[in-house]
Structure 1
Amino acid sequence: MPDLNAKSPVWAMIVLSDVTSTRRMEQVRSDFVANVSHELRSPLSALLGFIETLQGPASSDPEASARFLSIMESEAQRMARLIDELLTLSKVEADEHITPDDVISVDQIISDVAGLLSVRAMAKGMKLRTLVEKDLPPITGDADELTQVFQNLLSNAINYGSEDTDIRLDIGLVENLPETGVPGIFVSVTNHGEGIPAQEIPRLTERFYRVDKGRSRSMGGTGLGLAIVKHIVARHRGHLEVKSEVHKETSFTVMLPRFDENIL
């Protein structure tokens, strides 16, 4: 007969899970929501303040009313830019695992972007100088997204460059991309100005990060331009490199894989 007084063994299972990455993602999401709320609240508060003023004493002062309406328009445009860039960033992040497959010419995109922004450069006494290697091969990519990349980079070069200086656009071949080792094409945008301190460079592509917050906002920056650049370059399986010397020059270099017909 079995011994009814005998104790059965007790088993226990311990499961250990590393939640570090989960906590990190939760913090990133929390910070993102807080930043978006702050960026939208500032212009919204300004708009509400000016509306209240226009409904009061300023309603009988045409000059003050015109000035306030101009500021309100500027703040509304800032909110619109922020929303547009949030939507762009969200789309690029969602599609980052899908490599674009259109065959395009980078030098043509650079020519179009330079033509589009040349008037802004001339307003600061700047000259855009483009140096393109001959017989560049095409790349595989998305023309609209790469246009956004180079518009953002060239726009920053104009905004943060010193007046009456040159902005250099260099386009050429690169033998091996850093991450993949495949041959590619590089595009460098170089300006002369205050430069970026070395300790700030690793954080430049973070969402809403600004080296000079006051100056960035006064120029209409949203703090998302370089984050968009980073994600578009990643989607193209490319590489982004930043070099800067304080009070000298700053270069942003985008490297992209060449078109390879054997991959199609």
Structure 2
Amino acid sequence: MGFPGTWMTESESVVYRVVPKCACSTIGQIMYYSDHGRFFDGDIHDSTTGLHKWAQEHSQPLIEANVRAHKSFAFTCVRNPYARILSSFFDKIAGIQRNGKRYRGNLVPQLAQKYGIDVGAPEDGFEFDQIKSFRRFLLFARDTIRWRKPMEPDIHWSAMSGHIATFIANGGRYDQIIFTEKFNEGMQQVLDRIETPVTVDLSHIPRFNESEGHGPKRVHKVSDYFDDLSRHLIWEIYKKDFQLFRYDFDDPDNKMPTAEVDLAEVHAKLGQ
């Protein structure tokens, strides 16, 4: 199986396990900059040179050797599950992608037909009932994760613990897990513990949010989207994420983690 979703700088200064919707574009660009002194021109997910990625065949033996020997500092980044699934909905389901099309081609029409989800269109200013459509999307997301129907779960809404576990299961060890909500603080701690060819000043790093501006804005506070049934579904899908990464299940509007991540517990529970 190897190390899917793992990126490493060409200088091998740091190894990062990507978790979708958790500042991955910004982290990838920081890694690229720390080697080359410039940002990748475009979406870092599209780069095929300048950064080692497991998806690039020539990178695999280098990443595998590094991770198995734990040669470099390894980290990942997590995000509040309520905010993450909302972000997935507004970006991937309600939004228009970078190529000007809907995500995964016929996915949105399929959801409209099977789940009654309406997400509006750019022509009507994305006018739709956000709460109703999101709750129906949540049923769909749960169905993909629980029963793998009507399709396999998508990386953008499958649980963070699942992404993070593959790295451990194949012999990797994390040195740190940072929070999207305390990004500068966590990323600075990572940078303080590694040696990079180019010095990175976080105060001058822009945020690379590749999904921004391509879809509707969220118009309600987080808790408005989650009624009793929605929260039941969220717990069913993301129970481990709340527990391991210390997020507040009881208050959807409290996006901040309640404590630091216990790395020993993460390795023990996700390495089985």
**TM class, shorter-chain normalised?**
under 0.3
Bigger share in strand:
1
TM-score (ref. length: structure 1): 0.21
TM-score (ref. length: structure 2): 0.21
Higher relative contact order (CA 8 A, sep 6+): 2
